[in-house]
Amino acid sequence: MLNNCVGVLNMKLQSIKSTKQMKKFIDFVLKQYPAQSDKIISRALEINQQICNENPNQSREVLVHTKRRIYPAISVYKAILENTGNKERAYRTIEDCFNHDAKKAGRILRMLCKIPFSYKFVPKIMRRIIHKSFGKKAGFNRIDYPNEKGKCHIDMIECPYFNNCVKYECTELSTVFCNTDDISYGNMHDKLFWGRTKTLARGNDCCDFILEIKKTGNIQ
């Protein structure tokens, strides 16, 4: 019975060209909501398809964020809410899934930072990654602070993760995405300082990305 159910779901996933993220969510739903999983997953796929249909012709840079991460999260969150009415539990399911991946990424980053002196290059690498994948073409808008040796400081003043959660009336879900940054980057190396102080999702005017080599006076 379960194998047949999974087979049908796999066909649905393939039909909408879903993402690895959606498949991960389905695994979590199967484990956490065994009695309601069929209805939740079916509804989540419907919502995901509807959202994709409402936002056609997005660029590749945008789709990396929307189709691969944002839309699946919103879809599963809303489907759980519809079927359970439990907002806190729905939030925790999405959080658990993203945090699982963030912890894995954090472990990999810590391993890489064990390479002698590699931590010194991390702020510069982060700046390059943000410029490449989190620019205007991807739906972001940012303020770049002057380059300082050993420091990356960027304020994100517009973010599609936050904007889409607002658009689809689940603003509270946007904090999940912010939290993954703290998990991934917050403990990379004992000589690196992750200094996030605010995010759009938490009601601030921007999301600040501050990563620097620790100096005397850094908050720890």
Per-residue pLDDT tens, the chain, 220 aa: give them. 444 444 444 444 444 445 788 999 999 999 999 999 999 999 999 999 999 999 999 999 999 999 999 999 999 999 999 999 999 999 999 999 999 999 999 999 999 999 999 999 999 999 999 999 999 999 999 999 998 899 999 999 999 999 999 999 999 999 999 999 999 999 999 999 999 999 999 999 999 999 999 976 544 4
What pLDDT does residue 147 have? 85
Going from the C-alpha of 40 to that of each of 32, 62, 92, the distances in angstroms are 11, 27, 15
pLDDT at 134: 94
Long-range contact set of residues 188-197: C-beta below 8 Å, sequence gap at least 24? 188/106, 188/109, 188/110, 188/113, 188/119, 188/122, 189/110, 189/113, 189/119, 189/122, 190/214, 191/119, 192/113, 192/119, 192/122, 192/123, 193/218, 193/219, 193/220, 195/219
Q: Which residues pair with 133 in a beta bridge?
A: none
Rounded to two decimals, what is the model's pTM? 0.87
Would you call 35 helix, strand, or coil by DSSP? Answer: coil
| pLDDT for residue 184 | 93
Q: What is residue 18's predicted lDDT score, i.e. its pLDDT?
A: 55
pLDDT of residue 20: 86
